[in-house]
């Protein structure tokens, strides 16, 4: 993906493939495969919009999708949560996916 960005492709053009890679990695690493609605949530976040989700609907997993896509630019990505406990927990848990993908 990084080579394609260097050649001038946009993040938007890589979105489907990048999300598919994250979806497969999530299934292999975490045993969870993002549902279609979670993929849509990732697209909403990538566009810079707000996605409202209830407790237990997979916000953490959703956030990994656009985080991975945008990290491909090499500019860094930050995910923010409401407290230190969730930050640590989610980094350890879902952070396995981007570490696996490199």
Provide the domain limits for residue 38: 2-101
- How confident is the model at residue 25, as a pLDDT? 98
Residues 94 and 96: their CA atoms lie apart, in Å, by 5
The reported pTM is: 0.91
3-state SS track over 33-85: CCCHHHHHHHHHHHCCCCCCCCCCCCHHHHHHHHHHHHHCCCCCCCCCCCCHH
What tens-digit pLDDT sequence spans the chain (102 residues)?
Answer: 999 999 999 999 999 999 999 999 999 999 999 999 999 999 999 999 999 999 999 999 999 999 999 999 999 999 999 999 999 999 999 999 999 998
Domain count, the chain: 1
- How confident is the model at residue 40, as a pLDDT? 97
- How confident is the model at residue 48, as a pLDDT? 95
- How confident is the model at residue 102, as a pLDDT? 87
User: What CATH number should be reported for the domain holding residue 23?
Assistant: 3.40.50.300
Taking residue 30's Cβ as centre, other Cβ atoms within 10 Å add up to 16
């Amino acid at each position: 993906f990084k080579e394609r960005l260097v050649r001038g492709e946009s993040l938007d053009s890589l979105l489907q493939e990048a999300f598919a890679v994250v979806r497969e990695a999530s299934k292999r690493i975490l045993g969870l495969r993002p549902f279609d609605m979670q993929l849509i949530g990732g697209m909403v976040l990538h566009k810079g919009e707000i996605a409202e989700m209830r407790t237990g609907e997979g916000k953490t997993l959703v956030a990994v999708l656009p985080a991975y896509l945008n990290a491909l630019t090499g500019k860094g990505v930050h995910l923010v949560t409401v407290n230190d406990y969730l930050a640590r927990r989610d980094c350890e848990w879902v952070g396995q996916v981007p570490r696996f993908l490199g």
